[in-house]
Structure 1
Amino acid sequence: MPIRPENLHRYPRDWNEISARIRFERAGGRCECTGHCGLTHPGGRCPAVHERIHPDTGSVVGLTTAHLNHTPEDVRDENLLAACQMCHLRIDHGHHRVTRSITLAARAAAAGQLGFLADADLERTEPPAPPRPSAPRTARPALQLSFTDQEAP
């Protein structure tokens, strides 16, 4: 997942090396999620492998490094998890919901609007479980259209 420019200063200078070590040396290029995302994975661990088709989403996996406590400055190995995009987004779902509420409230206040931030907006909730396809998806060939310079009669 890309680092937002306003948060870049929070990551150590050697973040790329730390992230690569977690994703490829420690995790062997496979998602390390064992339920951190709220899903029960077959065999106990997410089967997603870097640069292969994800068995649940059908998209190509780009392995990421998740901060379990959502603190970029904390790069202890026990706080970092190699995660596919689906698991990473699910792990961060509650954090994203809270920060979005705070951002929207700050924008409203800056615009001179009075508002409130309910406590319920600051509670972590789990996203719904994605549907599991009955059979693994395979890459579909690209649709090819042919155009001619002639108009139809």
Structure 2
Amino acid sequence: MPIRPENRNRYPADWPEISLRIRTVRAAGRCECHGECGRGTHAGRCPNRNGRPAYGTGSRVVLTVAHLDHTPENCDDANLRAMCQGCHLHYDRDHHRQTAAATRRAVLEAGGQLALGTEPKGAARA
């Protein structure tokens, strides 16, 4: 998955090398997901291989590296898993929902919109 510019500083300087090693050496170009993504579309290890058509869709597979604890600073091999884009997106779906909700809330709070429909303290009601 592409790294968002605001998160780039959370990754180690050698992240490209770490990611390449996980995807090519350890995973040998194949998705390492064994169903933890929750897709329910494969029994055992996902058959998708980098650069080849994905099972079920035929779209070109892009192998990525997922942080299992969603913490980019934690680059221990045990926390990293090579995943095709489908498995990675499904694995991260709850985390993406939570961060999107937090972002929406922060935007509303910053704009003073969160308390819409409530009276400010001390305001007289008509």
For normalisation by structure 2, the TM-score amounts to 0.87
After superposition, where does 1:40-119 map in structure 2 within 5 Å?
40-115=40-115
Deviation for aligned residue 1:5 = 0.4
Per the alignment, residue 14 of structure 1 pairs with 14
Whole-angstrom CA distance in 1 between matches of 2:111 and 2:64:
36
* Unaligned 5+ runs, structure 2: 116-126
Query: What is the deviation of 1:110?
Result: 1.0
What whole-Å deviation, never above 9, does each CA across 1:113-143 have from its counterpart, x for those lacking one?
125xxxxxxxxxxxxxxxxxxxxxxxxxxxx
> What are the residue-to-residue correspondences of 1:32-43 with 2, within 5 Å?
32-43=32-43
Instruction: Tell me the matched-pair count.
Output: 116
Runs of 4+ in 1 over 2 A off after TM superposition: 39-43
Residue 40 (structure 1) shift: 3.7
Partner of 1:28: 28
Give the aligned residue type for 1:111: G
CA distance in structure 2 between the aligned counterparts of 1:42 and 1:105, rounded to whole angstroms? 36
- Contact 1:31–1:47 under 8 Å retained in 2: yes
Give the conservation status (yes or no) of the 8 Å contact 1:66–1:81.
yes
Unaligned runs of 5+ in 1: 116-153
Conservation of the 8 A alpha-carbon contact between 2:34 and 2:43: no
Do 2:37 and 2:88's aligned partners in 1 also have CA atoms closer than 8 Å?
yes
Between the aligned residues of both structures, percent identity stands at: 57
On the 8 A contact 2:63/2:83 being kept in 1, the answer is yes
Aligned to 1:147: none
Q: What are the superposed Cα offsets for residues 34-90 of structure 1, whole Å, 9 maximum, x if unpaired?
A: 011013454511010000000122210010000000000000111000000000000
